């Protein structure tokens, strides 16, 4: 056994143990107390199982012992910050809930951008290769700095601001392509179809600006049937949905297909905002926490789609997508086509902390208007139909070569 040399192993280990105990007493406990779940709930947590577990002397002592062992024996140096971040994350992982998590300030910023539906950057979606270190441009959002500069899908990212990004992770590249509005970013790419034999890269300089991530795409199909795809539900999806329906109505839309396949969910308010534009007045969904508190979400009488509706779902339609599908099914407002949904019938709440970090905690279950909780069960389609796509996806998606879309068209014509 190889042992790391340490001039004062006892005292250094003692200090590490003391640090861990201080972390738990001065940081983790206040995290619980400062949760934004309301004074009554916070008081319940303060006296509850988690608080008692953190305050147990045996727990603190053992953590101190583990920290001392790591400091004395682990083959690399590790910072107190790493230990502390690991403790925070471990506390959330102890719940055994894959949806509850701790976020560092940097991770929380990324999470906020994804749920807000906008960020300040250049408008590129990256695609890391599974078998190589290459990172290519998967998608360029229209009307963005990247699109205007000439970045194309399929370009291989070579450098950012003159610094090579070979072997760098896509997540790190994405961060470097973001900045304050007006901040310049220079991106070097290898355009495989146009680069010469020397492998010379093309360079594009652009300025960051606010990017609204599109979550809704639409087109008109035969028979004046609108086809609307929702990739996820963000805080901007409701407005994007409204604009899409307005544009389709301007083309004399007579019925609508909403594609929720592979939609992982998103923000509860986002899907409720969309359903408020689809359903008649009534209950959309309700949630219940462990205290029995119930919160209801309703659609108003002001808007409703008023058109025949078909909804496409599959096993990757989850969470907010299932709220949509479940409400449509309970109201018998449209026809669900495809395969059973994922089955995530629980709701998370994000609690921001004073140091810029955050925790996401599962706080309640949700129920469809008829009182069904689909967690671990999913939503069954009205028409069970496995997907068969008859085209070449490499050439782009054509809904008219999709058997589930064609079945929706057939039903809507009846």
Contact in structure between 275 and 329 (CB atoms under 8 Å): no
Place of tokens 């019925």: 255
Q: Cα–Cα distance between 312 and 356 in angstroms, integer?
A: 39
Q: Which of 71, 155, 276, 330 is catalytic?
A: 330
Active site residue 276: no
Q: φ and ψ at 200, to 5 degrees? A: -65, 140
Tokens of 100: 């509850």
Residue 414 buriedness (CB in 10 A; 0-12 / 13-18 / 19+): exposed
Q: Which of 344, 357, 364, 402 is catalytic?
A: 344
Contact in structure between 165 and 135 (CB atoms under 8 Å): yes
What is the number of other CB atoms lying within 10 angstroms of the CB of residue 43? Answer: 11
Contact in structure between 244 and 231 (CB atoms under 8 Å): no
Q: What sign results for the dihedral spanned by CA atoms 265, 374, 293, 90?
A: negative
Active site residue 319: yes
Residue 254 buriedness (CB in 10 A; 0-12 / 13-18 / 19+): middle
User: In sequence order, what are the beta bridge partners of 352?
Assistant: 358
Within 117-267, residue ranges assigned H as helices are 145-149, 170-176, 237-250
Place of tokens 């969904």: 285
Q: Which of 100, 319, 357, 364 is catalytic?
A: 319
Contact in structure between 239 and 213 (CB atoms under 8 Å): no
Q: Cα–Cα distance between 264 and 284 in angstroms, integer?
A: 19
Active site residue 344: yes
Contact in structure between 207 and 183 (CB atoms under 8 Å): yes
CA angle 207, 211, 212 (to 5 degrees): 165
**CB contact set of 383 (below 8 Å; sequence gap of 6+):** 335, 336, 337, 338, 407, 411
Q: What sign results for the dihedral spanned by CA atoms 148, 150, 152, 158?
A: negative
Contact in structure between 126 and 157 (CB atoms under 8 Å): yes
What is the number of other CB atoms lying within 10 angstroms of the CB of residue 312? Answer: 29
Active-site positions read 319, 330, 344
């Amino acid at each position: 056994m190889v042992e790391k040399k340490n001039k004062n192993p006892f005292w250094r280990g003692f200090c590490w143990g003391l640090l861990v105990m201080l972390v738990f007493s001065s940081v983790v406990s206040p995290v619980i107390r400062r949760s934004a779940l309301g004074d009554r709930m916070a008081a319940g947590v303060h006296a509850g199982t988690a608080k008692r577990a953190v305050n147990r002397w045996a727990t603190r002592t053992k953590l101190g012992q583990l920290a001392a062992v790591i400091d004395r024996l682990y083959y690399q140096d590790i910072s107190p910050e790493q230990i502390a971040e690991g403790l925070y994350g471990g506390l959330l992982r102890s719940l055994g809930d894959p949806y509850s998590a701790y976020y560092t300030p940097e991770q929380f910023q990324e999470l906020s951008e994804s749920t807000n539906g906008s960020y300040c950057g250049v408008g590129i979606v990256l695609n890391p290769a599974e078998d190589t270190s290459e990172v290519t441009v998967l998608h360029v959002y229209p009307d963005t700095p990247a699109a205007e500069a000439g970045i194309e899908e399929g370009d291989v990212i070579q450098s950012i601001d003159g610094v090579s990004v070979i072997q760098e992770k896509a997540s790190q590249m994405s961060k470097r392509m973001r900045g304050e509005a007006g901040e310049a970013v220079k991106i070097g790419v290898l355009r495989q179809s146009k680069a010469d034999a020397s492998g010379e890269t093309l360079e594009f300089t652009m300025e960051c600006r606010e990017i609204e991530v599109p979550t809704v795409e639409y087109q008109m199909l035969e028979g004046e049937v609108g086809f609307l795809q929702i990739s996820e539900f963000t805080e901007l999806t409701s407005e994007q949905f409204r604009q899409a329906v307005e544009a389709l109505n301007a083309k004399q839309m007579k019925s609508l297909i909403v594609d929720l396949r592979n939609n992982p969910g998103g923000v509860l308010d986002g899907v409720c905002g969309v359903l408020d534009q689809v359903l008649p007045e009534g209950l959309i969904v309700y949630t219940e926490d462990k205290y029995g508190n119930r919160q209801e979400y309703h659609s108003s009488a002001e808007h409703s789609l008023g058109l025949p509706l078909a909804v496409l779902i599959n096993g990757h339609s989850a969470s907010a997508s299932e709220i949509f599908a479940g409400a449509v099914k309970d109201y018998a407002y449209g026809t669900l086509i495809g395969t059973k949904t994922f089955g995530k019938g629980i709701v998370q709440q994000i609690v921001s902390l004073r140091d810029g970090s955050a925790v996401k905690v599962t706080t309640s279950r949700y129920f469809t208007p008829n009182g069904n909780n689909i967690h671990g069960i999913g939503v069954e389609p009205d028409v069970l139909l496995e997907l068969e796509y008859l085209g070449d996806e490499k050439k782009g998606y054509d809904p008219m070569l999709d058997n589930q879309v064609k079945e929706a068209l057939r039903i809507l014509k009846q």
